[in-house]
Amino acid sequence: MFVIKNSKKLFLVAILFIIFCKKEYIGFSEPTFIYDSYPLNPPEEKADLYFSSVPYKNFLELASDYQPLLNHLNQTLSIKILYKPIDQYYKVYDLLKNQKIDIALIDPYYYRKHKNEFDLEILAELVYTNTSSNYFYLVNRNDQFINYLGDIKKNISILTISFDNPYSFVGYQFPNEFLQRNELNLKRFKNVNYSGNFESTVQGILSGNFDLGFVDALTYEKYKATAIGLKVLYRSEPLEHYVLVIRKNLNETLKRKIRNSLLELSIKNDQQKSILQSIHKDLIGFR
């Protein structure tokens, strides 16, 4: 009887321990979304090439944004390119390195650092109307009391700051260097948040969840005229936009055909204009 009662207690303790550990694991792990299970691209579906992008905005929206472009390439080149939606920067880079993605939109600085290691080359650069250069912006809400960097220094212990992703040069590495130069050590902030993408950072600021955050130029231009509005505390020197890269070891003729198809897209053609603006309203072509 003693053994049975204690066995039941031990079993109950074990179950509670597992639940507790699972809760802790979920709280500190990477998001649990399984990118291969996204319904637009089930794992059993085969393709000639796989395309993806670092999640500078919601990764499911990106899948929708790029689908018209892939439809155009598939029809023009008589091949099958599928979008692989991925929710984390590091997953995109891991899949590129392991040749499970063939084409991707990535950070140009990360590309230069790892192009030989990943065996990549630039397929095309994106050209925008109003933002020929990229920037990172340090922003907060218009109605907040923080107006200058000096205000941040005085109130740093009560402020929450947000970045998009620690693997992002524009969204974390360059901004963090800027903070260090201005003696704003991350350890001194009340909280440091990684929102996952620039749009989530903006939404967190506008909702009051974050006091400050770093965003790129395209995201700032999109949200600067919102009802509450964003206040710019700092704008960086000009930076480069994301670039489309492709695996070097792909067939040279195929790479040339894909590149030419991208370069031929023009806003002068209404159908092609809608393809470009599906990616971004200010995108006018590739070069």
For residues 214 and 170, membership in a common domain is answered with yes
- Residue 24 forms part of a structural domain: no
- Residue 279 forms part of a structural domain: yes
**pLDDT for res 221:** 86
Q: SS3 sequence, the chain?
A: CHHHHHHHHHHHHHHHHHHHHHHHHHHHCCCCCCHHHCCCCCCCCCCCEEEEECCCCCHHHHHHHHHHHHHHHHHHHCCCEEECCCCCHHHHHHHHHCCCCCEEEECHHHHHHHHHHHCEEEEEEEEECCCCCECEEEEEECCCCCCCHHHHHHHHHHCEEEECCCCCHHHHHHHHHHHHHCCCCHHHCCEEEECCCHHHHHHHHHHCCCCEEEEEHHHHHHHCCCCCCEEEEEECCCECCCEEEEECCCCHHHHHHHHHHHHCCCCCCHHHHHHHHHHCCCEEEEC
For residues 93 and 223, membership in a common domain is answered with no
- Residue 9 forms part of a structural domain: no
Domain end position, chosen among 235, 252, 269: 235
For residues 140 and 259, membership in a common domain is answered with no
- Residue 7 forms part of a structural domain: no
For residues 185 and 56, membership in a common domain is answered with no
For residues 147 and 213, membership in a common domain is answered with yes
For residues 112 and 247, membership in a common domain is answered with yes
**pLDDT for res 80:** 96
For residues 207 and 250, membership in a common domain is answered with no
- Residue 17 forms part of a structural domain: no
Split into its structural domains, the chain has a count of 2
Residues in contact with 240: Cβ distance below 8 Å, sequence separation at least 6, in sequence order = 108, 109, 133, 134
For the chain (287 residues), the mean pLDDT of every run of 10, in chain order, is 51 46 32 35 74 93 96 97 93 92 94 90 90 85 94 97 92 95 96 94 95 93 82 93 94 97 96 95 92
**pLDDT for res 45:** 77
Question: The domain spanning residue 171 has which CATH number?
Answer: 3.40.190.10
Residue range(s) defining the domain that contains residue 180: 136-235
For residues 206 and 67, membership in a common domain is answered with no
**pLDDT for res 20:** 41
For residues 230 and 245, membership in a common domain is answered with no
Total-model pTM: 0.76
For residues 143 and 225, membership in a common domain is answered with yes
- Residue 2 forms part of a structural domain: no
For residues 121 and 50, membership in a common domain is answered with yes
For residues 144 and 111, membership in a common domain is answered with no
**pLDDT for res 229:** 87
- Residue 156 forms part of a structural domain: yes
